[in-house]
């Protein structure tokens, strides 16, 4: 009898589909900008952005692309970058079917992500459209490199996709080319945090 109960339990339990190599995140990011040297612009700033990421997992490795846009356009960071890193599954989501009601109860699939982004960014802080020649706005563009770690939790849906949330933190270094009264270039550090909804398929 005990063996029969175990067999029924095993038969009613399944691992939520982990075969979802593509993931799309869309969310918001808050980012700061701090000058490492004050040769051109020592002022710091912080601004929000809308961020979209697409990732393709190949075994433990993921590759992807990132796009960000300030909202509004003159407050935030616009970015185009590529990403590469490692994805480590902390827990596979498991679904248990209730044999009486034929409903499923599913745990979240938990994944830890770590990697680097590389691309080009355009940063605006206190830079409205009527920017004057004497403005001390933080306004620059330049290549960036970012180290980022993220935690993702997803739940399976009836159509086989997974939906959930991703929370990430990162630190970027930017070779800034200033575009206001500050002339020349400098190095800036950009710490950031982001929260996004995710769909995996």
Distance, in Å, from the CA atom of 130 to the CA atom of 8, rounded to the nearest integer, reads 70
- Domain parsing of the chain, residue ranges: 19-200
Distance, in Å, from the CA atom of 78 to the CA atom of 49, rounded to the nearest integer, reads 8
Q: pLDDT tens digits, residue range 117-159? A: 999 999 988 877 665 545 678 889 999 999 999 999 999 988 8
Exposure letters 131-147 (e unless 16+ CB within 10 A, then b): beeeeebbbbbbebebe
pLDDT of residue 158: 82
More confident residue, 57 or 3: 57
Which pLDDT band, with edges at 50, 70 and 90, does 100 fall under?
A: low
Phi, psi of 136 (to 5 degrees): -105, 30
CATH architecture of 19-200: Beta Barrel (2.40)
Q: pLDDT tens digits, residue range 12-64? A: 444 444 568 999 999 999 999 999 987 778 889 999 999 999 999 999 999 99
Nearest to 8 by CA among 106, 101, 96, 103: 96
């Amino acid at each position: 009898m005990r063996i029969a109960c175990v067999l029924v339990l095993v038969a009613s339990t399944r691992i939520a589909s982990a075969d979802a190599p593509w993931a799309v995140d869309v969310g918001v990011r808050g980012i700061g900008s701090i000058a490492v040297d004050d040769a051109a612009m020592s002022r710091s700033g912080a601004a929000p952005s809308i961020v979209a990421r697409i990732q393709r997992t190949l075994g433990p490795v993921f590759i992807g692309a990132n796009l960000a846009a300030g909202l509004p356009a003159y407050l935030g960071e616009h970015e185009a970058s590529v990403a590469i890193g490692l994805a480590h599954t902390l827990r596979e989501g498991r679904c248990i079917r209730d044999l009486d009601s034929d409903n499923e109860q599913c745990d979240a699939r938990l994944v830890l992500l770590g990697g680097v982004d590389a691309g080009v960014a355009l940063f605006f802080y206190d830079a409205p459209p009527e920017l004057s020649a004497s403005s001390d706005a933080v306004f620059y563009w330049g290549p960036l490199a970012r180290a980022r770690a993220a935690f993702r939790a997803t739940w399976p849906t009836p159509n086989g996709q997974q939906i959930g949330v991703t929370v990430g933190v990162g630190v970027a270094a930017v070779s800034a080319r200033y575009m206001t009264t500050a002339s020349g270039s400098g190095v800036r550090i950009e710490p950031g945090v982001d929260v996004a909804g995710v769909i995996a398929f």
